[in-house]
């Protein structure tokens, strides 16, 4: 399930919750800030973290075009 983050517009406190995409809006509308009691939130979009277990990882696969440019566009002028 995705992790959603919302920031309180009154005090800046960030609240996180996991929810299915279908239930996200219902969960977000029921948020209440534990710090100031406000229900006024805005969604925060954060980056993702990718990890690589070097013990099981092999070399990166070659690009689909077989070259350095996507779709073989190196030869285009």
DSSP string spanning 11-77? T--EEEEE--TTTHHHHHHT---TTT----EEEE---------TTT--PPPPPTTSSSSGGGGGG--
What is the value of pTM for the model shown? 0.57
Range of the domain at 8: 1-44
Digit-by-digit pLDDT tens for the chain (77 residues) are: 888 999 999 999 999 989 898 999 999 999 999 999 999 999 998 777 677 666 655 666 665 555 555 555 565 54
Asked if the structure places residue 24 within a domain, the reply is yes
What's residue 47's pLDDT? 73
Q: Look at residue 59 in the predicted model and tell me its pLDDT.
A: 67
Q: How much is the pLDDT for 76?
A: 54
In a domain, residue 65? The reply is no
Number of domains in the chain: 1
Question: Is residue 49 included in any domain, yes or no?
Answer: no
What is the domain-level CATH number for residue 14?
A: 2.20.28
């Amino acid at each position: 399930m995705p992790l959603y983050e919302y920031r309180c517009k009154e005090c800046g406190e960030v609240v996180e919750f996991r929810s299915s995409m279908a239930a996200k809006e219902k969960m977000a509308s029921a948020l209440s800030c534990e710090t100031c009691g406000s229900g006024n939130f805005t969604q925060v979009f954060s980056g993702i973290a990718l990890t690589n277990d070097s013990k099981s990882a092999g070399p990166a696969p070659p690009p689909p075009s077989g070259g350095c440019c996507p779709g073989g566009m190196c030869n285009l002028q």
